[in-house]
Chains A and B, each alone.
Chain A
Amino acid sequence: MNKPQSEPSTVSNLSNDKGIDKIDARILRVLQRDGRISNLKLAEEVHLSPTAVLERVKRLTRENFILGYEARLNPNKLGASMMVFIEVLLDRTAPDIMDTFKAAVQTRPEILECHLVAGGFDYLIKTRVADMAAYREMIASVIWSLPGVRETRTYTVMEEVKTTNALPI
Chain B
Amino acid sequence: MPSAESDLREAAAAGDAAPAANEAAAAANDPVVRAHARPARARGRPRGRGESPAAEGAPASGGPLDDIDRALLRILQADGRITNLKLAQAVGLSSASTHERVKRLVRDGTILGFNARLNPTLLQAGLLVFAEVRLSDMSNEVNAAFKAAVQLRPEILECHEVAGGFDYLLKTRVAHMGAYRDLVAAVAWSLPGVRDVRTYAVMEELKNTTALPLPAA
Report A's interface with B, CB cutoff 8 A.
11, 18-20, 28, 31-42, 50, 54, 57-58, 61, 63-75, 77-80, 83, 85, 101-102, 105-106, 108-121, 123-124, 128, 153-169
**Please, which residues of chain A bring their CB within 8 A of the CB of B212?**
73, 75, 78, 80, 109, 112, 128
Contact of A73 with B110 in the complex, beta carbons under 8 Å: yes
Known: A115-B208, A155-B165. 19 other contacts (CB 8 A): A36-B15, A38-B9, A57-B4, A61-B1, A67-B118, A70-B211, A71-B113, A73-B212, A112-B210, A114-B208, A115-B203, A116-B203, A116-B205, A119-B200, A121-B200, A159-B161, A162-B157, A167-B123, A169-B154
**Please, which residues of chain A bring their CB within 8 A of the CB of B161?**
157-159, 161
**Please, which residues of chain B bring their CB within 8 A of the CB of A102?**
206
Top 6 closest pairs, chain A to chain B, by CB: A38-B12, A109-B213, A168-B154, A69-B80, A71-B76, A31-B116
Contact of B115 with A31 in the complex, beta carbons under 8 Å: yes
Nearest Cβ distance between residue A131 and chain B, in whole angstroms? 13
- B197-217: contact bitstring with A at CB < 8 Å (1 yes, 0 no)? 011111111111111111100
- B56-95: contact bitstring with A at CB < 8 Å (1 yes, 0 no)? 0000000001000000010011111100000000000000
Q: If A68-B117, A72-B111 touch, does A39 touch B204 (CB 8 Å cutoff)?
A: no
**C-alpha spacing A101/B16, complex, angstroms:** 45
**Please, which residues of chain B bring their CB within 8 A of the CB of A70?**
76-80, 114-115, 117, 210-211
Binds A, one of B20-28, B124-132, B188-196: B124-132
Contact of A69 with B114 in the complex, beta carbons under 8 Å: yes
Contact of B210 with A77 in the complex, beta carbons under 8 Å: no
User: B150 in the interface, Cβ–Cβ < 8 Å?
Assistant: yes
Contact of A118 with B111 in the complex, beta carbons under 8 Å: no
**Please, which residues of chain A bring their CB within 8 A of the CB of B12?**
36-38, 40-41
Contact of A106 with B110 in the complex, beta carbons under 8 Å: no
User: B139 in the interface, Cβ–Cβ < 8 Å?
Assistant: no
**Please, which residues of chain A bring their CB within 8 A of the CB of B202?**
115-118, 124
- Residue in chain B with minimal CB distance to A42: B8
**C-alpha spacing A106/B11, complex, angstroms:** 32
Contact of B115 with A35 in the complex, beta carbons under 8 Å: yes
Contact of B110 with A78 in the complex, beta carbons under 8 Å: yes
**C-alpha spacing A128/B215, complex, angstroms:** 13
**Please, which residues of chain A bring their CB within 8 A of the CB of B204?**
115-116
Nearest Cβ distance between residue B25 and chain A, in whole angstroms? 25
Q: If A39-B9, A73-B111, A162-B158 touch, does A154 touch B164 (CB 8 Å cutoff)?
A: yes
**C-alpha spacing A90/B44, complex, angstroms:** 39
Contact of B130 with A117 in the complex, beta carbons under 8 Å: yes
Contact of B205 with A113 in the complex, beta carbons under 8 Å: yes
- Can you list 24 contacts pairing A with B, beta carbon distance less than 8 Å? A28-B118, A31-B116, A33-B115, A35-B113, A37-B8, A38-B16, A54-B5, A64-B119, A69-B81, A70-B79, A71-B111, A72-B210, A73-B111, A85-B169, A113-B205, A119-B200, A155-B162, A155-B164, A157-B161, A161-B147, A161-B168, A164-B158, A168-B155, A169-B123
Cross-interface CB contact of B163 among A33, A61, A123, A155, cutoff 8 Å: A155
Contact of B123 with A65 in the complex, beta carbons under 8 Å: yes
